[in-house]
Amino acid sequence: MSVALSRREALSVPDGIAVPRYDIRAVKPGIVHIGIGGFHRSHMARCTHDLMEADPSALAWGIIGSGLRESDRPLLQALNEQGGLYTLVERDGYGEHAAVIGSIVSVIDASQSSDALLDAIAQPNSHIVSITVSEAGYLLDTTTKKLDLTHPAIRHDIANPAMPRTMPGILVAAFRARRDRGLPAFTALSCDNIQHNGRVLREAVLRLAAQTDESLAAWIDAHARLPNSMVDRITPIPATSDINAFRDKTGLDDKAPVFSEAFKQWVIEDDFADSRPDWSRVGAQFVADVAPYEAMKLRLLNTSHLAISGLGALSGYVTVEETINDPNIRKYMRRLMDEETGRLLAPVPGIDLNVYKATLIERFANPAIRDTVKRINTDAPINLLLDPLRDALSRGSPIELLSLGLAAWCLRTCHEAAAGEKITGVNASDELQQCAAASADNPLHLLSLKSLFGDLASNDALMRSAGDWSHATQKDGVAAVLKGI
């Protein structure tokens, strides 16, 4: 008979699963989080839980989680039934460690109405609003990286500022409520994989606020803080089979477990509007400038992840582990980091980049993390390839291996669309779907989509390099192309 998780009763779980070393009923909210998926629960909520175990005063930093999408509702319901509790299973090549995490005190479904979420942020004890909604949730113009004022959801929030539906709209409305109540501004802490994420968030919030209230934009600019941060922990989306297998193995009926690698990293710009948890006690780094760490992670981890996932999909691999264990793909990734993306980096304080690169390959090869190339190809924005390409082109640096990653992305997308598969995820659009379905014979035609690729199609060097890779792959196959690298 399985045991159910509940915050309402004395916590009792099967042997082998760690439980909080603090009174979970004493945790009080101090943080509101937007986008309570697996990554937040494996990363920030885990760090906050660890701090609560180390310092009783941290019990005032409990998290109210929320979700904005209709697709979030099953997870939100499961977490509500469990009082915010869930099990985090951390895995490496040597075994796994399971622990019930108690830092989330309640969960709000904001997919139909943002009223309850806005009310939570407006409370005097809400000092931080943290965010993990992926790049798509920022509603940026793909070319300018500024808030897209023409997006229908943003236009709704401009017309209905008291009933926002988007993350930027909710932040603007929350800042307005706090100003009008005479409360101090909060810190909006982005934990998304976007370069200069805090700065991008600040620009989006200020631009949206100025559409309806210039004085509010000035107040936010003067009083709010939106620090940059860099986050890192591979956290696959658990399949139903994973959840069932966990229940059968442990006897714990957890409807929302999370499975992650053992490694985690968090670098935070120390710029907060009010008090903050001392996450440095549990491994986070507070620094004056996040940019070098952020660039390192985006260029070496995220760009490599997307580049090899395209090649892995074309090779018929299902998991990232299978992909990186292909010796030719492993060689490609190491050369990509050494010869191209690594050259774009400034020195990173306290980091040996050669060790970091080797660690990345080991992490991708972790046999305990069944992360799929499909998840990476779906969830990772194409800008993870385009941004370093633009940077390299502007510097006159090599682009051959980056352009292979781009060619693989185009080939994979066109093959899937031609086979009748619907393109989903952060890059999805009707325009991309139609163009991909019609471009199976010329995948690089996708680069003509200025809404996604900007003016890259006008760069002769890139088109020549990517075109050569595309032609060779279609003619000889991806295995032959990789073998020749």
Q: What is the CATH number of the domain that holds 85?
A: 3.40.50.720
What pLDDT, on a 0 to 100 scale, did the predictor assign at position 77? 97
Q: How far apart are the C-alpha atoms of 83 and 102, rounded to whole Å?
A: 9
Dihedral sign, Cα of residue 398, residue 400, residue 401, residue 403: positive
- Asked if 115 and 103 sit in the same domain, the reply is yes
**Helix, strand or coil, per DSSP, at residue 477:** coil
Domain co-membership, 326 together with 194:
no
237, 403, 422, 433 from 415: Cα distances, Å: 24, 18, 11, 11
Q: How far apart are the first and last CA of the chain?
A: 54
Question: Would you give the distance in Å from CA 450 to the centre of its chain?
Answer: 24
What domain range includes position 89? 3-287
- pTM for the predicted model, two decimal places: 0.90
Domain end (from 287, 306, 340): 287
Going by C-alpha positions, the residue among 186, 68, 169 that lies closest to residue 121 is: 186
- pLDDT at res. 11: 73
Identify the segments of the chain with pLDDT beneath 50.
1
What pLDDT does 5 receive? 84
pLDDT of residue 239: 87
Contact present, 449 and 386 (Cβ < 8 Å): no
For 19, counting Cβ atoms within 10 Å of its Cβ (0-12 exposed, 13-18 middle, 19+ buried), the class is middle
Q: Do residues 235 and 364 both lie within one domain?
A: no
Structural domain ending residue among the three candidates 261, 287, 313: 287
Q: How many domains does the chain have?
A: 2
Verify that 183 and 282 share a domain, yes or no: yes
What was the pLDDT predicted at 91? 93
For residues 320 and 444, membership in a common domain is answered with yes
